[in-house]
Amino acid sequence: RRYVAGGRCQSAARLEGKVVIITGANTGIGKETARDLAQRGKVIIACRDIAKAEAAASEIRAETGNQQVIVKKLDLADTKSIREFAENFLAEEKKLHVLINNAGVMLCPYSKTADGFEMHLGVNHLGHFLLTFLLLECLKQSAPSRIVNVSSLAHHGGRIRFHDLQGEKSYNRGLAYCHSKLANVLFTRELARRLQGKFPRQVGFTANALHPGSVSSELVRHSFVMSWLWKIFSFFLKSPCEGAQTSIYCAVAEELESVTGQYFSDCQPAYVSPRGRDDETAKKLWSVSCELLGIQWD
């Protein structure tokens, strides 16, 4: 069990006076990340299902004694909802110090978001791409600040298929998930490169990605086979609390204050696939993502 559990975040860093947004924090590793960070500072839980999010927030408030655990509506499958969330946040808050892009979908049957994007691409990549874009100026003004993108070891199986980005010619839901997780790694890499060109290292404005591990969670709910396997091999899976450790580490660890563009697993640097280190693909994906979302992000 100790081997399966992996690394733990040892940082006792406090976040008094700081603001954290975590997407998809009503369950799984997102909820456990929120539970930990709520012991350090103000946490905004951004979720599609408000009822589940309020239940999670109420539990965390009772456990931590922190009343600054706030629920906000955010549906990453709808760019209108993303823009409304960002607009409301910026009207209410002056600062944002940590953005954890945690929410995701996995193994969905072929379906599309409200804007016509394939679901894995739309939620896991484009939704968080747009959210980060809309909150970037606030993050800049709040530096030192951090962007944390929850990717996966599955990025090793991904490819950015520009000729069929939406999976309309051929679709495999397992591969679609892998492709979206590779997009998370490439987005992080290109974002860090662009930020480094504008901010000196000492400012501490960083973007990193991570693999949480194989975690017992609701993420496999769309696959009967995976749900069955997850139950059989549950002893070899991380608990949500164990799976949240690298997210927490990337959000608060003092030694990462000037580390950017990296990929972590078990609270330490991890190997990135060759496709995840392809700068030309990262630049092209950035450009295509902007085009799909109708934004200009130079």
Alpha helices in the chain (DSSP H): 2-5, 28-37, 50-64, 79-92, 119-120, 128-141, 173-198, 224-232, 240-243, 245-252, 279-293
β pairing state of 268-269 and 263-265: antiparallel
Burial 85-115 (b: 16+ CB within 10 A, else e): bbeebeeebeebbbbbbbbbbbbbeeeebeb
Nearest Cα neighbor of 123 from 188, 190, 179, 194 is 179
- Which residues have a catalytic role annotated? 177
Element (H, E) at 147: strand 145-150
Rounded Cα gap, residues 196 and 86, in angstroms: 24
Nearest Cα neighbor of 104 from 193, 194, 44, 30 is 30
